[in-house]
Amino acid sequence: MEYMVYAHEVTGVSEDGEVLARVTFPFVEEQVVDINHTLVDERLRGQGAANILLEKAAEKIRQEGWKARLSCSYAQKWFARHPEHKDLLANSFVLSCCSTADLTREHFAERDISFICFHYQLDGKSYSDDLGQSIPFDQFYQRMTEGASTATSQINPEEYAAYFEGFLKEGRDVLHLCLSSGITSTMNSACIARDMLAEQYPERKILVLDSLAASSGYGLLMDKLADLRDQGQSIDQVYQWAEKHRLDVHHWFFTSDLTFFIRGGRISKTAGFIGGVLNICPLLNVDCQGRLIPRQKIRTKKKVIQAIVDKMEECAQDGLQYSGKCYISHSACRQDAQAVAALVEARFPHLDGQVEIYDIGTTIGSHTGPGTVALFFWGKPRND
């Protein structure tokens, strides 16, 4: 296999002259190309041909002094795995969020999304909400079940400032989305840090936006913003899109264990006792102000699992023809999450890939406790 580098494409040619692999990158504006297609014949699958194509394309773009946009999904993933070529991207701003977006460390790295960690306390000892690195999620929820006390604390302005400044020193702008202001006031801390740094770095830009989202719904929003960034949209364009569409992310939750809602004072002991006797599973959602709101009281877990999928049918873009991504997060109840995922995949045949299941992190989990399942998807704008 010989690889040929041309002005706006790289091809892989067999010994008999057949083109078996190709990546194309035409100009889309002056000095900016778009890596728009990566094609590899199935006979070459698993042999690293696509990786070689992208490596040679990156070399060509660097030699010519061009910048690149990435409308090809494979190219987006390739550049995320090769940060040494990040400087080639036309819009190489930092896309950032808090650890409470409840995705995996691997997902954040693959999508090139930076994050800063909240904090929590378990039986008085402080930890970083570091995606299960300090304490694995199963151990965390087991400790809660055994009676461990929990508390959480937000990121303070000094922490935000140190985090942002690291990127500013690299000459990069930052777009940071915060956990919903309906749940925490961390947005205020991020804005204080932004203002603190503005005088020191007048040539740089820090944009801070309230996501009005939580857990993997917040993560679903960040994933879409990474798509927009990788397609070549500017930091201002991505900010404006997020501000306009953040309420399109729907969050529906249920819990099958009221223990921690009682312990946290969100329901009374009397109501919790009655709910336990009657096997009540509250169904909640996040409203247009980013607050968690109880919507229905449903008897039995089987019925609430059905009800949460019914809500997706009611609220999703295009109803049963929904073709976007769907995320689920859970707190130590994977079987329940899988039951919801199976119903979603059966009812919505046009999903963008399989339902992705994540753990509810230690910050949000400190308040929900084990037994919570949350369903996230794109839908009509939340208006109540």
Residue 359 to residue 211: CA distance in whole angstroms: 19
Count CB neighbours of 209 within 10 A.
18
Residue 101 to residue 119: CA distance in whole angstroms: 14
CATH 3.40.50.10170 domain range(s) in the chain: 94-245
Are the CB atoms for 278 and 256 separated by under 8 Å? Answer: no
Per-residue pLDDT reduced to its tens digit, 229-280:
887 788 999 999 999 999 999 999 999 877 776 555 555 544 443 444 347 8
Residue 27 to residue 110: CA distance in whole angstroms: 26
CATH 3.30.1180.10 domain range(s) in the chain: 247-378
Residue 121 to residue 124: CA distance in whole angstroms: 5
For residue 375, which of 349, 362, 357 has the smallest C-alpha distance? 357
Sheet strands (E) in 44-184: 67-70, 94-98, 114-116, 119-122, 125-128, 150-153, 174-178
Helices vs strands, H then E, count in the chain: 13, 20
Sheet strands (E) in the chain: 2-5, 9-13, 19-24, 27-29, 32-35, 37-40, 67-70, 94-98, 114-116, 119-122, 125-128, 150-153, 174-178, 206-210, 249-255, 280-286, 292-299, 326-330, 356-359, 372-378
Fold of domain 247-378: Hypothetical Protein Tm841; Chain: A;domain 3 (3.30.1180)
Are the CB atoms for 286 and 217 separated by under 8 Å? Answer: yes
Are the CB atoms for 187 and 98 separated by under 8 Å? Answer: no
CATH 3.40.630.30 domain range(s) in the chain: 2-88
Which pTM was predicted?
Answer: 0.82
Are the CB atoms for 298 and 327 separated by under 8 Å? Answer: no
- Highest CATH level, class, for 2-88: alpha beta
Look at residue 264 in the predicted model and tell me its pLDDT: 55
Identify the segments of the chain with pLDDT beneath 50.
Answer: 269-278
Are the CB atoms for 77 and 110 separated by under 8 Å? Answer: yes
Residue 298, beta-bridge partner list: 281
Look at residue 29 in the predicted model and tell me its pLDDT: 85
Pick the CATH number of 94-245 from 3.40.50.10170, 3.30.450.40, 3.40.50.20, 3.40.50.2000: 3.40.50.10170
Are the CB atoms for 365 and 336 separated by under 8 Å? Answer: no
